[in-house]
A and B are shown apart, each in its own frame.
Chain A
């Protein structure tokens, strides 16, 4: 899966939680979930659960902790998919 496709899928996942619509529209590798998209930090766990469901992967606690932006999310998803 290429980065573009991954970002498009991530965009759909974070859409219900994102409070900043403009940042969502311009989502890219450097987008931060809390600072840019204004996602409530409590909702980060929901984002992780939705990612798990979408990609059929399990994200461990350590990965979960650093999944705070698009870049780290892509790294984690790619690593998990690669390990399958």
Chain B
């Protein structure tokens, strides 16, 4: 018999808030985490604004020992540790070196890359014939599975410990993979989430692709403009989000706070056919992914109260809205509410899905819709499909029952998660 799966812990390191209280406050007040970045300016990037979690040295010491911080240079792992350990503690689960292996708990914690700054350091040393001086710290900070390995040690996770990677769909995919593992009875608890490095060596490739905005270097907070007529590309972001997924049985047995239920979802790909390519989604696949997710969740399209979109602020936002509208068979005033967290945090790449899922779960749990900032000039192609009142620009207090969250990534990959308020 399939197990029901619920969310019992949340953690986040986002550009507009590190820790759930700060993040929840920021998203309700429409506070942008996008700032001017001197390093990007010095390196002559087209886009010189970015989203980066603010992590002080004293905060780092709450997650890493002084020895671990020696020669530590992997901000993606740092963000992932903050989000992951916070989520675990939030779920009232134990943390520490003296714990015995917990065979029933694991993690699927995704990443797009690992420790690029550390890798850069290592490459310079290797090329300077200094390979013997690399020391012990390069591999754990640059291996693709680095973040799950670090979390596994901190939390004594002894079930599956792995890292998934599917570009900007990574975070949503990690939640669905963790969901399946618990539903099938292979684990009681899975820490799901994803992280993304910050910095020029991650963001440079996107700047080179000309998919980032170059028009808002002097107005960082107004730079990330999903659904806006003046959207001119995404703002690069970084950070991590984490969710403790747990079987309902285990959560009830522990008396855990239940934030939401994961009803299910769907993962697919567009095969880079039709209008899909390495960098663009195949609409047929996107629509199919949404429909299959709703089917898997056992609900009807009419029941969806709100959508947490992928909506990056590139030229593809109107197409995404059209795909949602076709998939759900809903438009105009009948369309669900929709919001895009990237307006406040930019596009956190491999971390985007998990940070946005944390926001979606908070919305269900507390009954609100965070405001969409920077779309006062709503794109006319979007307004032609859905009623503008479905795109709240002010905080809206509202009981929500079902939220659909989708993420789409390079490689033409899609993931859609259906969340329900737990009652």
A43 to B70, CA, bound (A): 11
List the B side residues contacting A42 at CB < 8 Å: 136
- A82 on interface, CB distance cutoff 8 Å: no
- A15-B136 Cα distance, complex, nearest whole Å: 16
Name the residue of chain B whose CB is nearest to the CB of A42: B136
Question: Hey, which chain A residues are within 8 Å of B67, CB to CB?
Answer: 16-17, 43
A49 within 8 A of B: yes
Q: Which residues of B contact A65 (CB under 8 A)?
A: none
Interface assignment of A45: CB less than 8 Å from any CB of chain B: yes
CB distance from B324 to the nearest CB of A (A): 49
Chain B interface bracket (under 10, 10 to 19, 20 to 34, 35 or more): under 10
Is the C-beta of A75 less than 8 angstroms from some C-beta in chain B? no
Asked if A46 and B136 sit within 8 Å, CB to CB, the answer is yes
Q: Answer yes or no: B205 CB below 8 A from chain A CBs.
A: no
B58-78 interface (Cβ within 8 A of A): 66-67, 70
The number of inter-chain residue pairs (CB within 8 angstroms) is 15
Closest to A59 in B: B132
CB <8 Å contact, A16 and B66: yes
CB pair B135 A49 closer than 8 Å? yes
Interface size on A, residues (CB 8 A): 7
Q: How far is the CB of A13 from chain B (nearest CB, A)?
A: 13
Instruction: Give A46 to B66 CA distance when docked, in angstroms.
Output: 15
Do the beta carbons of A45 and B70 come within 8 Å of each other?
A: no
**Interface pair B135/A45, CB less than 8 Å apart:** yes
B133 within 8 A of A: yes
User: Do A45 and B136 touch across chains, with their CB atoms under 8 A apart?
Assistant: yes
B 178-203 to A, binary, CB cutoff 8 A, 1 in contact else 0? 00000000000000000000000000
Residue of A nearest to B136 (CB): A42
Q: Are B136 and A43 within 8 A (Cβ)?
A: yes
Contact mask for chain A residues 12-31; partner B; CB cutoff 8 A; 1 contact, 0 none: 00001100000000000000
Interface residues in B323-351 (C-beta closer than 8 Å to A): none
Q: How far is the CA of A42 from the CA of B137 in the complex (A)?
A: 9
Taken residue by residue from 36 to 58, chain A's Cβ proximity to chain B (1 for < 8 Å, 0 otherwise) reads as 00000011011001000000000
Residues of chain B contacted by A17 (CB below 8 angstroms): 67
Beta-carbon nearest neighbor of A58 in chain B? B132
Chain A residues lying within 8 Å of B66, measured Cβ to Cβ, are: 16
Q: Nearest Cβ in chain B — how far from A47, in angstroms?
A: 10
| CB<8 Å pairs between A and B, sample of 8 | A16-B67, A17-B67, A42-B136, A43-B136, A45-B136, A46-B136, A46-B137, A49-B135
For the complex of A and B, list the 7 residue pairs with the smallest distance between their C-beta atoms, beginning with the closest.
Answer: A42-B136, A46-B135, A46-B136, A45-B136, A16-B67, A49-B135, A43-B136
Given contacts A16-B67, A17-B67, A43-B136, 12 further A-B contacts (CB under 8 A): A16-B66, A16-B70, A42-B136, A43-B67, A45-B135, A45-B136, A46-B70, A46-B135, A46-B136, A46-B137, A49-B133, A49-B135
